[in-house]
Amino acid sequence: MHEPLAYLNGRWLPASQLAIAPTDAGFVLGATVAEQLRTFSGKLFRLEDHLVRLEHSLAIVGVDAGLSRSQLAETAEELVAKNHRLLDAGDDLGLTIFATPGTYTAYASGEEPPPPTVCLHSYPLPFRLWAEKYRGGQFLRTTCFEQVSPRSWPTGLKCRSRMHYYLADREAALAEAGARALLLDAGGLVSEASTANVVVYTSREGLISPPGSQALEGISLAQLWELAAGLGIPTVRRELTPDEVARADEAFLTSTPLCLVPVVRLDGRPIGRGEPGQLFARLLAAWSDLAGLDIAGQAVRFANRRLTTPGS
């Protein structure tokens, strides 16, 4: 095998042949439930936690994927085992699991409800997007685009309906090259960044992140809390204002692919000293110990890999 495989609706196929019909509700309505995972040394990280969250999202949208948690886990591990062999030594994969309600009913030919679409595919982690952030830090900007209200869909739903992410990040990058959006809710409180949880640190309170009622409960955020407990660092979930982010001693983004990166500027003004801080270094070192590899070093090493078929 010289090409990665994908899984679609019970079939294994070459990734280049993976295709979803344009009549699928995932395209027509954006009705797609998804989980993003990554590997460390070819092993999926916190797979069980991701599958539990996936089950919760599927229940919210009323989609039965037709696979048990153990079957999904087996499929995910088999896919990663097959595709990781195509990578260079020391490299790692991202894994996407997504499900949709299937063909949108307006396009369905029969009276019976259409079967769901269930897909798993992998990709070499795009380290180029964040490798330099471990040393230089991430910039954030507040924008005119709000976080979606929980009255539109629950904050616990991990879904692909993310036009607000796209528009907010676009506005942030136009205002400051390389910046990402800091999303606020209708009340002006911090929710999250696009695809990442926001965490700040103050010497008085420790690590602070918005509560689950205002942001998706991140798997990596839970991991960060566990690492902090091991280092004796207090943690709290509470409402957070943009001004508190600006005045924090340190700030971070945490998400599955990049694990943890420092935030060094908000709306053009430095946070703390305007550079990655000592606590960030401690936390990333602890995460690297857990993963069994140098997280930042791996990202730098593979940031400039050729963007071709893995292993070519």
* Per-residue pLDDT tens over the stretch 91-114: 999 999 999 999 999 998 876 888
Statement to judge: residues 89 and 142 lie in one domain: no
Final residue of a structural domain among 125, 141, 161: 125
Structural domain contains residue 57? yes
To 5 degrees, how large is the angle CA 93–CA 95–CA 98? 165
In this predicted structure, what is the pLDDT of residue 306?
Answer: 72
Structure tokens at 280: 């960030």
Final residue of a structural domain among 84, 100, 125: 125
In this predicted structure, what is the pLDDT of residue 312?
Answer: 34
CATH of the domain at 80: 3.30.470.10
Statement to judge: residues 120 and 137 lie in one domain: no
Mean pLDDT across the chain, nearest whole number?
Answer: 95
Structural domain contains residue 279? yes
Asked whether the predicted pLDDT for residue 220 surpasses 60, the reply is yes
Structure tokens at 17: 């042949």
Question: What confidence category does residue 38 fall into, taking pLDDT thresholds of 50, 70 and 90?
Answer: very high
Q: Mean pLDDT across the stretch 260-283?
A: 98
In this predicted structure, what is the pLDDT of residue 307?
Answer: 53
Question: What confidence category does residue 123 fall into, taking pLDDT thresholds of 50, 70 and 90?
Answer: very high
CA distance 116 to 24: 9
Structural domain contains residue 312? no
Statement to judge: residues 53 and 175 lie in one domain: no
Q: Mean pLDDT across the stretch 73-85?
A: 98
Nearest Cα residue to 93 out of 44, 49, 34: 44
Encode pLDDT of 126-158 as tens digits: 999 999 999 999 999 999 999 999 999 999 999
Asked whether the predicted pLDDT for residue 1 surpasses 60, the reply is no
Statement to judge: residues 291 and 186 lie in one domain: yes
CA distance 164 to 139: 18
Statement to judge: residues 173 and 255 lie in one domain: yes
- DSSP 8-state class, residue 15: G
In this predicted structure, what is the pLDDT of residue 251?
Answer: 98
Statement to judge: residues 149 and 282 lie in one domain: yes
CATH of the domain at 263: 3.20.10.10
Final residue of a structural domain among 125, 141, 169: 125
Asked whether the predicted pLDDT for residue 310 surpasses 80, the reply is no
Nearest Cα residue to 93 out of 180, 6, 189, 199: 6
Structural domain contains residue 27? yes
Distance of CA 285 to the CA centre of its chain: 20
Asked whether the predicted pLDDT for residue 172 surpasses 70, the reply is yes
Range of the domain at 293: 133-299
Structural domain contains residue 179? yes
Question: What confidence category does residue 309 fall into, taking pLDDT thresholds of 50, 70 and 90?
Answer: very low
Asked whether the predicted pLDDT for residue 58 surpasses 60, the reply is yes
Statement to judge: residues 177 and 295 lie in one domain: yes
Structural domain contains residue 308? no
Residue 237 burial by CB count (10 A; 0-12/13-18/19+): exposed, middle or buried?
middle
Q: Mean pLDDT across the stretch 45-59?
A: 98
Statement to judge: residues 156 and 197 lie in one domain: yes
Statement to judge: residues 138 and 197 lie in one domain: yes
8 Å CB contact between 298 and 127:
yes
Asked whether the predicted pLDDT for residue 275 surpasses 80, the reply is yes
Structural domain contains residue 309? no
Structural domain contains residue 78? yes
Statement to judge: residues 154 and 95 lie in one domain: no
Question: What confidence category does residue 302 fall into, taking pLDDT thresholds of 50, 70 and 90?
Answer: very high
Q: How many domains does the chain have?
A: 2
What are 99's strand-pairing partners? 33, 118
Judged by DSSP in three states, 260 sits in: strand
